[in-house]
Amino acid sequence: MSTTTLEQRPQPAAPRVDAGNAQSLVTLTIADQLCGVPVLSVRDILGEQPITRIPLAPPEIAGSLNLRGRIVTAIDLRRRLGVPPAPAGTPRMSVVTEQGGDLYALLVDQVSEVMTPPASSFERNPPTLPPSWAEFCAGIYRLNGRLMVVLDIGRILALSPEG
Partner 1 sequence: MDDLLVEFLTETNENLAELDVALVRLERTPDDGQTLSLIFRLVHTIKGTCGFLGLPRLEKLAHAAENVLGRVRDGVLPVTADLISTVLAAIDQIKVIVNALGATGAEPSGDDAGLIALLDAVSENRGQPAAAPVAVPAPTPDPVAAVAAPVPDPEPDPAPVAKPVAKPIPEPEAAKPSAAEPVADAPNSGQTIRVGVDVLEDLMTLVSELVLTRNQLLQLARSQESASFSVPLQRLSHITSDLQEGVMKTRMQPIGNAWAKLPRLVRDLTVDLGKRIELVMHGADTELDRQVLELIKDPLTHMVRNSADHGLEMPAERRAAGKSEIGRIMLNAYHEGGHIIIEIGDDGQGLPVDKIRAKALAKGFATEAELAAMSDNQILRFIFRPGFSTAATVTAVSGRGVGMDVVKTNVERIGGTIELTSRPGQGSTFTIKIPLTLAIVSALIVEAGAERFAIPQISVVELVRAGTDRDNSLEEGEPVVQQVNDTPVLRLRDRLLPLVKLNDLLRLGGGAETAGDARHHIVVAQVGASLLGIVVDRVFDTEEIVVKPVAPIMRHITMFSGNTILGDGSVIMILDPNGIARATGIAGSAETRAADAHSNRAELMSSTGSERTAMLLFRAGGSEPKAVPLGLVARLEEIAAEQIESPTGKPVTQYRGRLMPLIAMSGALDLSKPRQTVLVFADSEQRLGRDRCMGLVVDEIIDVVEDTMSIELAAELPGTLGKAVIAGKATDIIDTGYWLLQAFNDWFQSSGKSAATGARVLVVDDSAFFRQMLAPALSAAGYNVTAVSSAAEALAFAQHGVMFDAILSDIEMPDMDGLAFVSRVRAQGPWANLPVIALTGLSKPAQIEAGRDAGFTDYVRKFERDALLTSLRQCLAAPTDTSLAV
Sign of CA dihedral 102, 77, 107, 54: positive
> Are residues 31 and 78 in contact, defined by beta-carbon separation less than 8 angstroms?
yes
Total residues at interface with partner 1 (CB under 8 A): 22
Residues whose CB falls within 8 Å of the CB of residue 113, separated by 6 or more in sequence, listed in order: 27
Which residue of 52, 112, 116, 132 would you call a contact of partner 1, by CB under 8 A?
52
136 belongs to the binding site for partner 1 (CB under 8 A): no
Which CA distances in Å does 143 have to 15, 43, 44, 125? 20, 25, 25, 15
> Are residues 149 and 137 in contact, defined by beta-carbon separation less than 8 angstroms?
yes
Stretch that binds partner 1, among 5-13, 30-38, 76-84, 96-104 (CB under 8 A): 96-104
Stretch that binds partner 1, among 29-37, 48-56, 81-89, 107-115 (CB under 8 A): 48-56
12 belongs to the binding site for partner 1 (CB under 8 A): no
Stretch that binds partner 1, among 30-38, 59-67, 77-85, 87-95 (CB under 8 A): 59-67
User: Interface with partner 1 by CB under 8 A: which residues?
Assistant: 50, 52-58, 61, 63-66, 69, 71, 73, 100, 102, 104, 159-161
